[in-house]
Amino acid sequence: MDSDYNGGSGFLDPELLQLNEVSSLAIKSNPYLAEKLFDQWLSLPETTLLVKSLYNNAKAGVALNIAGSVSSPKSSSGNSVPPLSPRSSSSGSPRITKPRVGPSVLGSPLRVLSEPVKELIPQFYFQNGRPPPNDLKENCLFRCNQFFYGHADGLQLHEFKPLTKEICKLPSFFSAVLFKTIDIAGTGVVTRDAFVNYWINGNMLIKDVATQIYTILKKPDLRYLTQEDFKPILQELLATHPGLEFLQGTPEFQERYAETVIYRIFYYMNRAGDSRLTLRELKRGNLIAAMQHADEEEDINKVLKYFSYEHFYVIYCKFWELDTDHDFLIDKENLIRYGNHALTYRIVDRIFSQVPRKFTSNVDGKMGYEDFVNFILSEEDKLSEPSLEYWFKCIDLDENGVITRNEMQFFYEEQLHRMECMAQEPVLFEDILCQIVDMIGPKDEGYFTLHDLRGNKLAGSVFNILFNLNKFMAFETRDPFLIRQERENPTLTEWDRFAHREYIRLSMEEDADDASNGSVDELGGELWKASLDSCGVSVSRIFVSDVLLNEHLRVSPDGYLKQCRAEEDYRGYGS
């Protein structure tokens, strides 16, 4: 058989092999492979028959008309066949063939490979959030049509509250701010199309409640909530909640109540302490549950988280008692009188150094109302997370993240001196340190970290030992009956017990101003004792601080705690 092939792979064009199952690039990169493949092809019986047939046809002058075949340059004796153009996918060259699935025209025995199947990845990112499912969307549209039936012009503000609560599933006191958010133009009405466009088409429908509230309250150009953002919903709460109707005639106290609620929210929720409440902080806290509770409960005082009026009353009255000149600012000398002079001067100095929290008063050496709210919440419930951080920063003098023996001894020295002045048996610091180590069980007995204190029910007592003498003595002489009462109602925090106890005392003092001393004192004493018992508070625990104070005023030497000598600063519980 005559052939122009001389055995050299360098003269073999890979595409002449017409092996669609093998990449032409692989053949070009390995000439030896092309030679072997060509030899194998020539050895096939079908190839021999084909070559002989083509050879005979060529000798007879029969035109070749085999699909995919090309003429060799040596067989072109004239200009009947045009020269081959450079290979390109767009040139239409007969040398370029598209890959085909199936056996080769020339019957190559190589294994047939199928083209890879492209996997269709569903869309997972949506700029405005994932669209709601069709059934949920249709159900919401049906409910909207019911609310807007007969209101072709739209709903006014007083008609919008049921829509807020039943369709949006938000507290009813969000209706005003939601209404204004949708009614951007200020027309005074919200149409069906406007509501559907904001709530359904804006994908608010499928967001969780925290994200919905965050989106509604925050300013468009910010990525966090400020204290100002909460004022509209608190104004609506004050105007509509039945438990706050009595404040309608006192707008000043309405404003103070709203401020106190906001300060409490940011104290517990804004852990960074920068007055910028993020979505993550909002989701991690219990504010949403408290809002829903406040919307369902007619007695606002039963909403112990954030919204209780009794809690506001106690905080405000405590501040007013210390602010003797009523300039809405208190200094060190004012704060040292808190809790019947329970705190030491050294801890008060640390508070006014603004180490635990920066003051918002913007007045040098003065604490504002918000700063006092942070203080009293920390002082009366030392087991809360913000309180632990507050007092830990106070004791950590060098701010290195650990509390050492020397730092604790620095604060306890004043406590020890006060016990000596009260003619009480002093407890040496070495004994106190051993007691604290047993109470906390730190990972390293040489120092205490914030992690050691977290989750420990005795952590608050450690701080009381170091700088609050009255609570320290109450802890040493704690009543077993009180412990049993606290265990029976563990849902109440130390702050809840303190606020209830103080509210009863303050309300008795208000009643005493309008009635005779004998009958009111006798009746009020019974009411107070009954209320304290229902709250799980022992009367003996309350009186202990007053007994200590009386002893302190009687035996304190000259030159020590002179601020305590003012009798008008002492307001006894049972005197």
- Domain containing residue 389: CATH number: 1.10.238.10
Q: Are 37 and 106 in contact (CB under 8 A)?
A: no
310 in any annotated domain: no
- Total structural domains within the chain: 2
100 in any annotated domain: no
pLDDT at 35: 76
Summarize pLDDT for 383-442 with one digit per residue, the tens.
Answer: 999 999 999 999 999 999 999 999 999 999 999 999 888 887 888 999 999 999 999 999
3-state secondary structure of 155: strand
11 in any annotated domain: no
Separation CA 279–CA 287 (nearest Å): 12
**DSSP type of residue 68:** T
3-state secondary structure of 402: strand
Note down pLDDT in tens along the chain; length 575 residues.
Answer: 444 444 444 445 555 555 556 666 666 677 677 777 777 777 888 888 888 888 888 888 776 655 444 444 444 444 444 454 454 444 444 444 455 545 444 445 555 556 677 778 877 776 666 777 788 888 889 988 888 888 888 899 989 999 999 999 999 999 999 999 999 988 999 999 999 999 988 888 888 999 999 999 999 899 999 999 999 999 999 999 999 999 998 999 999 999 999 999 999 999 888 999 999 999 999 999 999 999 999 999 999 999 999 999 999 999 999 999 999 999 999 999 999 999 999 999 999 999 999 999 999 999 999 999 999 999 999 999 999 999 999 999 999 999 999 999 999 999 999 988 888 788 899 999 999 999 999 999 889 999 999 989 899 999 999 999 999 988 888 767 667 767 777 788 999 999 999 999 998 887 776 664 544 444 444 444 444 444 444 433 333 334 333 333 333 333 333 333 333 333 332 33
3-state secondary structure of 34: helix
pTM, 2 dp: 0.70
- From the CB of residue 418, how many other CB atoms can be counted at a distance below 10 Å? 20
Separation CA 224–CA 103 (nearest Å): 65
Out of 476, 498, 520, a domain closes at 498
Which of 354, 341, 447, 343 is closest to 394 using CA atoms?
Answer: 354
pLDDT at 172: 94
484 in any annotated domain: yes
Q: Please report which residue ranges of 302-428 form alpha helices under DSSP H.
A: 309-322, 332-335, 338-341, 345-352, 369-380, 385-395, 405-421
Question: DSSP per residue over 157-192, as a string?
Answer: GGGSHHHHHHTS---GGGHHHHHHHH-TT--S-B-H
514 in any annotated domain: no
441 in any annotated domain: yes
Q: Are 519 and 478 in contact (CB under 8 A)?
A: no
Out of 206, 225, 249, a domain closes at 206
Separation CA 302–CA 58 (nearest Å): 106
53 in any annotated domain: no
Which of 479, 478, 532, 544 is closest to 508 using CA atoms?
Answer: 532
Summarize pLDDT for 259-293 with one digit per residue, the tens.
Answer: 999 999 999 999 888 999 999 999 999 999 999 99
Contacts (Cβ under 8 Å, ≥6 apart) of 183 = 189, 190, 194
Out of 147, 180, 206, a domain closes at 206
Token look-up 């002492």 returns: 570
pLDDT at 228: 96
CA dihedral 67, 71, 77, 79 (to 10 degrees): 70
154 in any annotated domain: yes
Domain that residue 452 falls in: 355-498
- Domain containing residue 164: CATH number: 1.10.238
Separation CA 569–CA 563 (nearest Å): 9
